[in-house]
Every structure is written in C-alpha cells, then in structure tokens.
Structure 1
C-alpha cells in the first residue's frame, strides 16, 4: 500500500479555463508547497481534496490517502485535517471545549478530558482549558487550532496560508511547531502559500503556479 497523499493527474478548471494540474505523491512526514499569487487555484485544490469544491469548478483525476481512493468520499470521512488563515475557534466555547470538539467520537468523559489536557500541555498552554478564546494571543489561538485539528486524528494535513496573519516572531514559532507535529505524526502535508519564507521553512518539494 502506498502510504501518504497522492494526487493522481488532478486537473481543475473553471468553465473552459484550466487552472492547475498536479500529479504528486506526498509521502508521510513530507511537505509539498504550492506557491502562486491569489486567484491561480491554490485554495481550490485544497477544496477538491477535502470534498468541498464549489460548483463553479470542475476537477478530474483522483485523490488517494494511505492506499484508499477518497476522491468521492464524504468530506467528514476523508480523514484530512486543514488549517486556514483564521483560527476558526468557536467563540461560545472555552479553549478546552474547542479542543474537545476535535476529538473523534467515543471514549469516556475522563479519557477525553485527559486527551484535552495532554494537548494543552504539548503546546505550552497547560491551565488554559477554561479560558475564553477571545483572551488568547494570535499565536496561542493558532496553537489551539492546530491541536484541535490533530485531536481529530487526520491522516494528512492541508495548510491554507495559516501563518499569514501572525507577526514575524509568532509566525516562525507556530510554523516550526506545525511542521514538527506533522513530522512526528508522519503526516503528509500540502501547503499553499504565496510566501517564500514559509516555503523554505517547510522544506520538501515546491510547485509554482501562475508563472
């Protein structure tokens, strides 16, 4: 079985206009960075992988994850995690409850709470479980969003310019944390960005669109 995320002859069009073509195998723990200006189809590629492609786009090709063809699977069954520019934390839930939302169904209440506490400790936020997300800094929110996604136990990670709203210091720290966690969990990573520093920090292959 070919592990990792495989984009096999994927072509995305809008009307009669081809936007991009990708054929790549992202192996566990490795990163493919897709670069290019706004409007070239970077985020549209992520939408195709997650099963949320807008109706005004069309796509051909297949998406394989750990040996399974997920091209037509329901979005919630694809086991693909994604981080966006915005942290998208639920404002009506505490930090701990936000993390608990990411957990897969099942287990005891005590066991689930223990996983939440372990996640907070892993990213240096022990004791933050009862905090209102609005009281967190941008870097802290990014860490909570990352751990919420990882608690869902994804088999691949998509990054949609998730560092772009952070200042330079926080950006470097959060970026390193994201890639370290992905490598430690052997997750294939597909990142879209227009930032060369992010691409360099990611390592791995780089594909440039819109040239």
Structure 2
C-alpha cells in the first residue's frame, strides 16, 4: 500500500484553492515525437525534450531528459500490456500491479473510468470517447486537470495531453498513466480490427 501523504495532499489542495483566486495560466500542451512507444520523446516545446521512452521488448523505461541517469518509471511487460509498474524513487521502487495503480471502475453515471493512485490522492481518468479521456481529482469530477487524446495521428503537431498549470506536480503520474492508457486503447483497436475487420475500401 502507498503510505499516507496527507500533508502532501493538503499542500496540493491548497495550491488548487489558491489557483481560483487569480487568473489561471493557460494549460501546457505536451507532445510526443512519434506514435511508436518503443522509442519516443515527450516535450512541451520542440527544443526542450522532457522524457524519452525506450523499450527493449521486456520493459518500457521512462527516462527523465532533464536529469541524466534518472528513471521516472519502468513498465514490466507481459504480452500486450504491462503487468507491473515501478517508480524507482517511490515506495522503495517495489513493483505495483498496473491494475491496482490504474484501476478500472464505473462512475455513478455508468461511465467507464480509471482511478490513478498518486502521492496527492486518487485521480480519475474519465472516458469521453474511445480516443479521448479527461483527468479529475476524485473529490471534484466537475473540473478536469488534464485532457488527453489517443489518436494515431498525434505525431503531426497535435498535443497528446493538455495539463492545467496547477496540476504540474502530477505531470509524471499523468504521463505514465497516459502511456498505459494509450497502449490499452491501441490494443483494443487492434482487437476490433481482427474480430470485426477494417471497412472495405
């Protein structure tokens, strides 16, 4: 289990509360250099790479480009989807089940969602459509802190997600969850193609 980080959550809640007192800055757009997650770089501006994703066939590693040698997260993979995930700087780097860290659930309105465990508390990835999701604090499902897209053409200068400025402390969690969700969405699309077939041209 994750340790209780109530003070961190209180600090974060305080940040969110302060954000409503001033004119908020616009959300930050995050991009990736390609759609192949075996070797891709995430950035906020073209000249400033933030994370590089590499894959050796057994695990996917999220490298922090701003701090040489720092690994933000490792996906330990089994077949199509990662089975476990570990954060080298958290919880003694012990692997966590992906299904527990990003748990599928149903909201009261019947919408499919995924609850993400973070040091700041639980956050909800709510499905808007098959290729779009928004992220909310579990205690506030009215104001999204991020908006994410999973379309296969995202490398053509389109952001993969928009992150509200007061949610920046969650950037790595959202990036890691984005990668997991993208793999899941793309895998489901491939299964649909196999069982249903592509439209006749």
TM-score, normalized by length of structure 2? 0.28
- Greater relative contact order (CA < 8 Å, ≥ 6 in sequence): 1
Q: Which structure dedicates a bigger proportion of its chain to strand?
A: 2
Q: Return the TM-score normalized by structure 1.
A: 0.27
